[in-house]
Amino acid sequence: MTQQTDQIAPTADVDPRAVVGTDVTIWHLAQVREDAQLGAGSILGRGVYIGPGVILGANCKVQNYALIYEPAVLGDGVFVGPAVVFTNDVFPRAVNIDGSRKSAADWDAVGVNVGTGASIGARAVCIAPVRIGRWALVAAGAVVTRDVPDHAIVAGVPARQVGWVGPAGIPLVSAGDNLYTCPATGERYREVDGALSVVPSER
């Protein structure tokens, strides 16, 4: 590890094979498994679980008791709320059809991929394999069963799109004619075929 121990709580369990970037903070009872990668500036809250080989980009924030199972990949600046779960088994079973206990060799892990700047609200469940786009926002308690477009806001069980959001995290406001504006930054976006793109500013 390349991490100073004063930023890792004494009760945290960080495997020596994990790669921990600079200025990472890991709180009490968190577990980071072998070959996981934590980007610089990231924070893991109390009781967080990071599975083997999971990758977090820089400046991610994973709140208390979130469970991120392998092979999840998170981009830079991703927010994961308290008690969020990223699954990794499409057909979960404890035993094989002959009654024998399943081992890692008896199933293929699939992961959740989260784009830069996205936020996952408290107690949301993301059912792998699924991709959550850049700057997207998953509402608290949502169950994500299909891909989420960049900038989309999704909510409910199963999660469905209810709006658009910009990097500031504030829902965009419709300006008509498939145009949207960010109330915080004034940035303008256009929706075309279910995708959002930035409208270049006029000079």
* Spatial separation of the C-alpha atoms in residues 77 and 60, rounded to whole Å: 5
The residue type of 135 is: W
- List per-residue pLDDT tens for the chain, 203 residues long: 444 455 999 999 999 999 999 999 999 999 999 999 999 999 999 999 999 999 999 999 999 999 999 999 999 999 999 999 999 999 999 999 999 999 888 888 999 999 999 999 999 999 999 999 999 999 999 999 999 999 999 999 999 999 999 999 999 999 999 999 999 999 999 999 999 999 987 65
Burial of 128 per CB tally in 10 Å (0-12, 13-18, 19+): buried
Q: How far from the centroid of its chain's Cα atoms is residue 10's Cα?
A: 26
What is the pTM (predicted TM-score) of this model?
0.93
> Which domains, and CATH codes, for the chain?
5-165 (2.160.10.10), 166-203 (no CATH)
Burial of 140 per CB tally in 10 Å (0-12, 13-18, 19+): middle
* Spatial separation of the C-alpha atoms in residues 18 and 52, rounded to whole Å: 8
**Considering only CA atoms, which of 47, 54, 17, 55 is closest in space to residue 31?**
47
